[in-house]
Amino acid sequence: MNLRFLLALLAMVALVFTSCDDDNPAPSFDNPTVTAPTTIVNLASGVTGQSVTFDVTFDSELTASYSATGSNVTISNPSGDVAGGSVTINFDAGTTTGGASITLTVTDSEGQSASGTAVFTVDQPVVRVTSNVSSDATWTADNTYILGGRIAVTDGATLTIEPGTVIKGEAGTGVNATALLVARGSMINAVGTASLPIIFTSVADEITPADVAAGNYASPNLDPDINGLWGGVIILGNAPISASNDDMDISEVAIEGIPSTDPNGLYGGNNAADNSGSFSYVSIRHGGSNIGAGNEINGLTLGGVGSATTISNIEVVANQDDGVEWFGGTVSVSNVVVWNAGDDAIDTDQAWAGTLDNFVVVTPSGSCFELDGPEGTLVERHAITNGSVVAINGSRTTGGLLIDTDSGTPVDMSNVHFVGPLFTTDDDGNVDEYLVMTDDEVAASTFSNVTFDIDAADLINLMEQGGPIPAGISAGGSPQADVSVFGWTWANEVGGLDGL
């Protein structure tokens, strides 16, 4: 065998062995996969004991390990056998509302990896209130409270509401209208702050306590003229009222806006210094649902509320009925904004004997002031002072009067300015109609520095009967309210108080 033949034989043998190796290639494994759940219920802020399960696959001939990372969650004790096709991650929701996520990563023993991410939304916890508050209770800003009906504070209980809390009323009319009612003998302690006001609104409103805490006081989705979506807030007390039945004085009656069959709706008594609690830095929005023909709920109703009650820094936005209405009582109220009332802005009845001090009224659909006299023999005076009124803004016009009194209204009004314009115009820019006040029914009323932004010669046109002009009323003047205290309101945030 010569050398050339031997070399050829060796080459053939090598080729055979190489072919055999090609028939048995090196092992090759598929990449692992991780599938995150696609439907996840929104999480409640700060709630513990949550879990999420991922589906995983990897080649059965390999081993695998996994790790999890999270955003706005706290991961604890991952469980589940990765070889079994799933991994469950236990976690606690974060305390920051908004987005959150958990990412699971699986790595096989070949170093091949795959990941999947579960995405969440962290919301404020929601507490639905469906029964009366008959013992002391506290509503906190880390929850959103839903009024599931007409909720009364009863049996001498005190309801405390923390600053920054959001309370939302469900939709309902008639006997199903939602409202918060503080019955006689019970108390409300709802004291917000200028940086953390308390918000009463509709379930249709997407505002959250996180918005309030961030200084965003406007509704994120509802316009400031949408009304009638729920009821309102009603505070009742044992202070005197002027009411009658068949010309006989009566000391207690059922408040309007509440079915007369509800005993929690009674108000009035003989304790002028009665105390219904404290109510401050509160915004009430989109309310005024109708319980019957012509019987709506006011934004804030005060029936027989006594002088020991503290009420200040109140905003009422887009209430279908009146903004604030007093029925007798002796409580004084300060720092009030009523914006876009569906009826009267400020309404007084039954010989209220308190003072409204420092207020702004902006574009009511009814009268700016509906000031009625006593209904029984009891006569008490009330005072309205230091206010600015915008009756017309753009195309929005009051459908009532600037000041509507009757001949027996015992009111003392001072330092109140009505911002122009005080008339509407036609398409050619000519005066179409003046807004007016009841100048012939002021026998029991007094005015001091009540001014109207109009030419002196035109002031007479604002008088319903064409004069005379009551003493203390004049043309000119300037805004009288101190609007610097209203920085916390929705009205201020969107420029509704500009120019005042």
| pLDDT tens-digit map of 237-248 | 999 999 999 989
Residue 18, sorted as left (phi over 0), alpha (psi -120 to 50) or beta, turns out to be: alpha
**Residue pair 307/328 in contact by the 8 Å Cβ criterion:** no
- Looking at residue 18, what is its pLDDT? 46
Three-class SS state of 100: strand
Rounded CA-CA distance 32/108 in Å is 7
Alpha carbon distances (Å) from 415 to 452, 482, 485: 11, 12, 17
Rounded CA-CA distance 390/454 in Å is 13
Q: How far is CA 129 from the centre of its chain?
A: 16
Q: Which of 312, 374, 380, 368 is nearest to 343 (CA)?
A: 368
**280-333 pLDDT per residue, tens:** 999 999 999 987 656 779 999 999 999 999 999 999 999 999 999 999 999 999
**263-282 pLDDT per residue, tens:** 999 999 999 999 999 999 99
Show the domains of the chain with their CATH numbers: 33-123 (2.60.40.10), 126-493 (2.160.20)
Could you tell me the mean pLDDT of each successive run of 10 residues in the chain, 500 residues long? 50 47 61 84 72 88 87 78 81 80 90 90 85 98 95 97 98 85 98 98 95 96 96 97 95 90 95 98 95 78 98 98 98 98 97 98 96 96 98 79 96 97 87 92 97 96 92 98 98 94
- Looking at residue 17, what is its pLDDT? 45
pTM of the model: 0.82
Q: Where are the alpha helices (DSSP H) in 185-323?
A: 209-213
- Looking at residue 399, what is its pLDDT? 85
Q: Which of 123, 124, 173, 122 is nearest to 145 (CA)?
A: 124
Which two structure tokens, joined as six digits, stand for 274? Answer: 């009665």
- Looking at residue 63, what is its pLDDT? 86
Return the number of other C-beta atoms located less than 10 Å from residue 476's C-beta: 12
- Looking at residue 98, what is its pLDDT? 76
Residue 31 CB-half CA count within 13 A: 7
Return the number of other C-beta atoms located less than 10 Å from residue 223's C-beta: 9
